[in-house]
Amino acid sequence: MRTTALTFIAIIVTIVGLRAPALADVSAAAGVYATDTPSQVGAAAILSTAESIPALPIQIQASLLIPATKQGGYALTAEVRGLSGGGFGGAYVGAGLGVGTLSTGRTPGPVLTVFAGKPIAPFTTIEVRVYRGTQQNGTTAGFLGLRFSVL
């Protein structure tokens, strides 16, 4: 169980390390995190790395959610983020699929996420996310926070 989590974290760190010269695609978010089962409120951090697809107005990204709650856990997701362009002031929406321990027993299983964000200042975006652990005893979690681009 822990080996799987450490393997996925190592993969993300490797991807970020290989992409180090293009730091504009790396971001971090921090904010409020809440779950329904068990009912908890706390903080969480999200680390992301993304790659644009020039022919389409989308980005492919990998994100790692790390909640700082009594239940703890993680969610590692591969995501597609649609860019709205200037019409909505740079707002975006996206969805992802991955693995994590978002369940009452902290057992690893599939995780789904949907999210949206809106820039509020240079290199700063407000972002809202919903996560769902789809395994037995999976939990639904919400995140509201600020995302900061590295460059």
* Residues written for the chain: 151
pLDDT(75) > 50: yes
Q: Give the model's pLDDT for residue 129.
A: 96
Domain spans, the chain? 2-149
- For the segment 120-128, the average pLDDT, to the nearest whole number, is 91
pLDDT digits 0-9 by tens, 5-46: 555 555 555 555 544 444 447 899 999 999 887 788 989 999
Mean pLDDT of the chain: 82
pTM of the complete model: 0.79
pLDDT(54) > 70: yes
Overall CATH class of domain 2-149: mainly beta
Q: Give the model's pLDDT for residue 114.
A: 96
> Is residue 110 a contact partner of residue 135, using CB atoms and an 8 Å limit?
yes
Q: Give the model's pLDDT for residue 86.
A: 54
Q: Give the model's pLDDT for residue 23.
A: 42
Q: Give the model's pLDDT for residue 144.
A: 95
